[in-house]
Each structure stands twice: as structure tokens, then as C-alpha cells.
Amino acid sequence: MSWGFLRDLLSGVNKYSIGIGRIWVAVVFIFRLLVYIVAAENIWKYEHDEFECNIKQPGCENVCFDHFFPVSHISLWALQLIMVSTPSLLVVFHVAYREKREKHHNQKLYKSPGDIDGGLLCTYLISLILKMGLEIVFLVLFYKLYNGFKVPRLVKCDIRPCPNTVDCFISKPTEKMIFLYFLVATSCLCIVLNLSELSYLIFKYSIKCYLKRYIKKCQ
């Protein structure tokens, strides 16, 4: 079980996505998942080992690291990727439910089980709203946990057992900051894509509904 599972999930989701949704899948795949795996993971690999405090007191480094990094950037990033990809499963389940229903009744109930209309449209819209919500939640979490998206070179720590205020140095802060900004930029791009898709779908189906009603009235 590894990131290959998420890759297969996203490929499956791509089948039932429309227009902007497919661009969203491509952005998540290439600019978030691939960048995470080939670049970001290695930067944070030895973050604890390379975190150095100007003191020999046993336990001080551990305690300070834990205080400044309650959840590592990279773990939060991985969680974000997984959570943000999951709402699309709602659409996949709904399509599977439709196909099962058709099989059960042994007749064609829908124009095509994968067509985004009726109940499936509601599910698709809900999944978009959930994706956006989760992206925003994680961005806010990142901002609150680490006081912005900057990674300082030096942090001052005075938690027991450190005998007084000691200087602790974070490894590769500039590189980490560059990739954090990259993460934020791609998250924002994904939020914009989801918002555009939501607006487009609502607009399209409102016009469709309105036209249907208008034609009925004329008749």
C-alpha cells in the first residue's frame, strides 16, 4: 500500500470528471503528488536528526523539536493530499450504485450511469464543496501551526529539561520554505479550479432548468 493507490484512485476519478475536473486531477497528480514524492519527501527525511540545539543537555533537543513541530510539515502535506482526493470517491460510489441498480432491475434506468445529471450532479457538487473546504482547512491549519508559511533558521527554546533559553537550528529552512510556498500556490490553484467548476456547473444546470420550464410554459 503506497501512493500508487492514490494514483489509481485519481485515475478512476478522472473517468467521471468533466472539463475543469480533469485539469484538477492533472494538477493534483503532477504538481502535488509527484512533487511530494520525488522532491519534498527527501527534504524532510532527516529533519529530526539534523535539528541541532546549542546544548549538550540530554532530552533538550527532543523536547524543543516536539514543541516547534507538533506535526511535521510533510505529514500534514501527505494528510492534505489524501483528504483532498477522497471526496471524489463519493462520485465513484454513486456511479457504482447506479450501475448496481440497473443490473438489479435488469433495465436501462439512466441514459448512462456516468452522466452527470440528477442525483449524481448533487453528489458531484457536494464533492466539490468538500474538496474546497478541506483545502481551506488545511491551509489555515498550516498557517496557525507554524505562524505563517516561513521556516526560520533559528528558534529559541526554554522548555524543561533545557536549563535556559537555547538556540536551536533547523536544517534546510530555505528549501523547506520554497516547497511550502509551492504547496500553498498549488492548493490555491486547486481551490480556484474547484470554485470555477462549481460556478460553471451551477450556471449550466440553472440555464438548462430555466429553458425547460420556459419551453413547458410556451407549450
Partner 1 sequence: MDWGALHTILGGVNKHSTSIGKIWLTVLFIFRIMILVVAAERVWGDEQDDFICNTLQPGCKNVCYDHFFPISHIRLWALQLIFVSTPALLVAMHVAYRRHEKKRQFRKGDQKCEYKDIEEIRKQRFRIEGSLWWTYTSSIFCRLVFEAVFMYAFYFMYDGFRMPRLMKCNAWPCPNTVDCFVSRPTEKTVFTIFMIAVSSICILLNVAELCYLLTKFFLRRSKKAGNAKHHPNHENKEETKQNEMNELISDSCQNTVIGFSS
Binding stretches for partner 1 (CB under 8 A)? 2-4, 6-7, 22-23, 26, 29-31, 33-35, 37-39, 42-43, 46, 50, 52-55, 153-154, 167-175, 178-179
| Cell numbers placing 110 | 439512466
Question: Measured from the CB atom, is 52 or 158 closer to partner 1?
Answer: 52
C-beta closer to partner 1: residue 34 or 209 = 34
CB of 49 to partner 1, least distance (A): 9
Instruction: For residue 41, give the 3-state DSSP assignment.
Output: helix
**Rounded to an integer, what distance in angstroms lies between the CA atom of residue 8 and that of residue 91?**
15
CA distance 49 to 142: 23
Indicate the residue among 44 and 124 with the shorter CB distance to partner 1.
44
User: What does the DSSP assignment read for 118-153?
Assistant: THHHHHHHHHHHHHHHHHHHHHHHHHHHTTSS---S
In the complex, the smallest distance separating the C-beta of residue 176 from partner 1, rounded to whole angstroms, is 9
Q: How far apart are CA 166 and CA 68, in angstroms?
A: 13
Minimum CB separation from partner 1 for residue 136, in Å? 25
* Residue in the block written with cell 486531477: 25
Q: How far is the CB of 133 from partner 1 (least distance, A)?
A: 26
Q: Compute the least distance from the CB of residue 114 to partner 1, in Å.
A: 13
**Residue 74 CB, nearest distance to partner 1 (Å)?**
14
Phi-psi region of 162 (alpha: psi -120 to 50; beta: other; left: phi over 0): beta
Name the β-bridge partners of 156.
167
| 19 Cβ contact partners less than 8 Å away, ≥ 6 residues apart | 197, 200
Max alpha carbon distance in the chain (Å)?
87
